[in-house]
């Protein structure tokens, strides 16, 4: 028989799952990879980390954060962070942008994100139908370029 631990207060299940009270506070101490890991760890953290301002801090510029806290140090250069957090990008897209910048091959995503933001293609949430269509179009264009390159190489 297991002895009862009387040092911990009894918590009901809703208190153990609700992490929203700590999300902003904890992510202040996290780097982008840590926050992404928390987001992917369980539904409770994913829901608690939906707040766009949590992800905006990894993209810069306000409030100013140390370069080490940015998703990539390149965001400290020029107007890139203003472009990715400005009115041409929907706030719900910040987490997706941070995730894209932390993936392997991030520089390819970075160039594409800058192009999409400059064109105003990220003004809608990535979950919207319009952006699903945009993704399909971009994939089709990429496949078309690959086919053209293969045909040119075989000649």
pLDDT digits (tens, 9 = 90+) for 43-98: 888 888 888 888 988 988 655 555 557 888 888 877 888 888 889 999 999 998 89
Segment 120-146 mean pLDDT: 76
21-30, 63-72, 77-86, 114-123: segment of lowest average pLDDT: 63-72
Query: In Å, how far are 54, 94, 100 from 72, measured between CA atoms?
Result: 16, 14, 11
Rounded Cα gap, residues 69 and 32, in angstroms:
7
- Of the pLDDT bands very low, low, confident and very high (cuts 50, 70, 90), residue 131 is low
Instruction: Using a pLDDT cut of 70, give the percent of the chain over it.
Output: 76
Mean pLDDT for all residues in the chain: 78
For the stretch 101-138, what's the b/e string if a residue is b when 16 or more beta carbons lie within 10 angstroms of its beta carbon?
bbeeebeebbeebeebbeeebbbbebeeeebeebeeee
Q: What is the pLDDT of residue 75?
A: 85
Higher pLDDT, 16 or 27: 27
- Of the pLDDT bands very low, low, confident and very high (cuts 50, 70, 90), residue 116 is confident
Query: In Å, how far are 40, 49, 104, 141, 152 from 35, measured between CA atoms?
Result: 9, 8, 17, 33, 44
């Amino acid at each position: 028989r297991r002895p009862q631990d009387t040092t911990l207060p009894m918590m009901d299940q809703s208190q153990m799952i609700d992490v929203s009270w700590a999300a902003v506070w904890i992510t202040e101490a996290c780097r982008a990879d840590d926050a992404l890991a928390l987001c992917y760890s369980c539904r409770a953290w994913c829901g608690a980390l939906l707040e766009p301002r949590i992800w905006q801090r990894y993209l810069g510029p306000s409030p100013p954060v140390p370069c080490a806290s940015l998703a990539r140090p390149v965001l400290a250069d020029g107007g890139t962070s203003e472009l990715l957090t400005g009115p041409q990008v929907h706030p719900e897209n910040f987490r997706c942008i941070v995730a894209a910048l932390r993936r392997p091959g991030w520089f390819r995503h970075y160039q594409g994100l800058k192009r999409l933001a400059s064109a105003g293609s990220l003004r809608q949430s990535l979950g919207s139908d319009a952006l699903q269509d945009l993704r399909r179009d971009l994939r089709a264009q990429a496949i078309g370029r690959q086919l053209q390159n293969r045909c040119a190489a075989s000649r």
